[in-house]
Amino acid sequence: MVRAGGRKGSGVSARAGSEDARPSREQVVFGVSGLLAAASTCPALPRPVPSRPGPARLLGQDSKLPSSVRNTLLELFGQIEREFENLYIENLELRREIDTLNERLAAEGQTVDGAELNKGQLKAKASHSTSQLSQKLKTTYKASTSKIVSSFKTTTSRAICQLVKEYVGHRDGIWDVSVTKTQPVVLGTASADHTALLWSIETGKCLVKYVGHVGSVNSVKFHPTEQVALTVKLDDFSHFCLMNQELNGIEAWKTVSYFVIYQNASGDQTAHIWRYMVQLPMPQPTADCNQIAGEDEIEFSDKDEPDGDGDASSDCPTIRVPLTSLKSHQGVVIAADWLVGGKQAVTASWDRTANLYEVETSELVHSLTGHDQELTHCCTHPTQRLVVTSSRDTTFRLWDFRDPSIHSVNVFQGHTDTVTSAVFTVGDNVVSGSDDRTVKVWDLKNMRSPIATIRTDSAVNRINVCVGQRIIALPHDNRQVRLFDMSGVRLARLPRSNRQGHRRMVCCSAWSEDHPICNLFTCGFDRQAIGWNINIPALLQEK
């Protein structure tokens, strides 16, 4: 994960999973005794019988499969054949090595490297070497077959996960994405280009631009019941904007009046209140999104990214001056969220604290301390006065404000690297994602160990859970977005091919379950947000 405002190298972090390395001869051959024991565990693989028809010949005989499917199967069968051929060759080399070392053993009177081995030493050494060799062989087979199984699985989800709309207009990477919970439903994005944008989901048109500060905008959150937005910026300001809606139909436009509260992180550690007007375009007919994209990976260069020179937000209303401000943190504010009811908000900062505010009076109610390193995220429970904060100290903490007189805190320790986000689900579950490439599902009633663990090949950024269907969307550093259920079963991977999908690190995901066009949104450092249509019933049925 890349920390906001401090991008790696050219501003992109794409930690692709390391390739599985086959054990070398030095790793496999642990000595004569180990090889003697290993010989029994490595039977020679039979050579293919020439007269037996291979996969290509079988598929070619009156095959009714489409040519594209047939070619994919042929390629996969070819991969299987090459893997087993390589293992067969390695097995032959290992057997030759065993024979050579056996001859040397007999010639040197059972001495290896000048040391005599008695029966007990030989047995112990053989047992240890056999165990190590067995483990390495299991790892090699598992890594090889998992790639093949993954290739088969991804082909089944093409029609289930479709890219519908791309929201292009930011000039730098997008850290966060969020969707309003009330009408009109709009999309919000927070970017490293120092702006926050609101978008029409249906048309992809930018509705308003927020340029109140000079640093990266790290988070955007909307009020749970009213037209209120909460954004966070890297220049250490916290901004709040409350939106009151008035609708008047004017030809093809709706005029919407907003009084908006934004929370932004900024250098003088203050919170600002903003007011603005936007025009929401009426939905236009959408293009046919039934075209199914292939799953083949395509590498992209910087020239393939959306053109930032054509600024789609240049003609939309711009907010520059705040109405009021609040002072709080001593460092960058990295995330924010609304407590249930919307009268209070919580912010997370690099000063290792989270602050709870009374929005109406701009009063700091509580300062939540205890983390040993910078905070990375904060999230509130949808129905209870609970807050969870995550940190670079490999932990996340649960803060309980249900009892006004007692504010308890519980510490969850289960990750080995930065916890990038922790979010609530319906009931008593919390889902946490980490730079250690795992996602864990926790039961608040039993905090000792997770009830499910998802292991991935890349660091996980800001996750989001589809509350109704209990599906977790995982945005990765390696440009992938994967969907899992709460028990840890992988459901799908969003397509990345034919110049579709993200081309840089994916920073955040957000569900909008009831939207008829796009029910999942993702954003990343390719400077675009993407709206997806996930056929959830078909996805769960395929599982």
Rounded-to-integer distance, Cα 272 and Cα 238, Å: 6
> Among residues 229, 158, 227, 160, which one has the least CA distance to residue 197?
229
The two structure tokens encoding residue 124: 């112990």
- Stated as kind and residue range, the H or E segment containing 440 is strand 438-443
Instruction: Report phi then psi at 292, rounded to 5.
Output: -95, 125
pLDDT given for residue 481 in this prediction: 97
Helices 119-154 and 32-39, packing angle to 10 deg: 60
Please, which residues bridge with residue 235 across strands?
266
C-alpha distances in Å from residue 292, one per residue of 161, 162, 496: 9, 7, 11
- 471-513: per-residue pLDDT in tens? 999 999 999 999 999 999 999 999 887 678 999 999 999 999 8
Cβ–Cβ under 8 Å, residues 488 and 452: yes
Rounded-to-integer distance, Cα 395 and Cα 414, Å: 7
pLDDT given for residue 274 in this prediction: 61
- Stated as kind and residue range, the H or E segment containing 453 is strand 452-455
SS3 string, 75-119, reads HHHHHHHHHHHHHHHHHHHHHHHHHHHHHHHHHCCCEECCEECCH
Cβ–Cβ under 8 Å, residues 37 and 454: no
> Among residues 196, 137, 139, 142, which one has the least CA distance to residue 172?
196
pLDDT given for residue 51 in this prediction: 45
Burial class (CB in 10 A: 0-12, 13-18, 19+), 107: exposed
Instruction: Report phi then psi at 39, rounded to 5.
Output: -60, -35
pLDDT given for residue 147 in this prediction: 45
pLDDT given for residue 243 in this prediction: 43
pLDDT given for residue 162 in this prediction: 92
Q: What is the pLDDT along the chain (543 residues), one digit of tens a residue?
A: 555 555 444 444 444 444 444 444 444 334 444 544 444 454 444 444 444 445 544 555 567 788 888 888 888 888 888 888 888 888 888 888 888 888 888 777 654 444 444 545 545 545 555 555 555 555 555 544 444 444 444 444 556 899 999 999 999 999 999 998 887 888 999 999 988 899 999 999 999 888 876 778 888 888 787 766 776 665 555 555 544 433 333 233 333 333 344 444 443 455 555 655 656 666 555 444 444 333 444 444 444 555 544 566 777 888 877 666 667 788 888 888 989 988 888 989 999 999 998 888 888 999 999 999 999 999 999 999 999 999 999 999 999 999 888 888 999 999 999 999 999 997 789 999 999 999 999 998 888 899 999 999 999 999 999 988 899 999 999 999 999 999 999 999 998 876 789 999 999 999 998 898 999 999 999 999 999 999 988 888 776
Cβ–Cβ under 8 Å, residues 39 and 95: yes
pLDDT given for residue 257 in this prediction: 35
Helix (H, G, I), strand (E, B), or coil: what is residue 25? helix
Domains present along the chain, CATH in parentheses: 160-230+253-279+315-505+526-540 (2.130.10.10)
Rounded-to-integer distance, Cα 474 and Cα 472, Å: 6
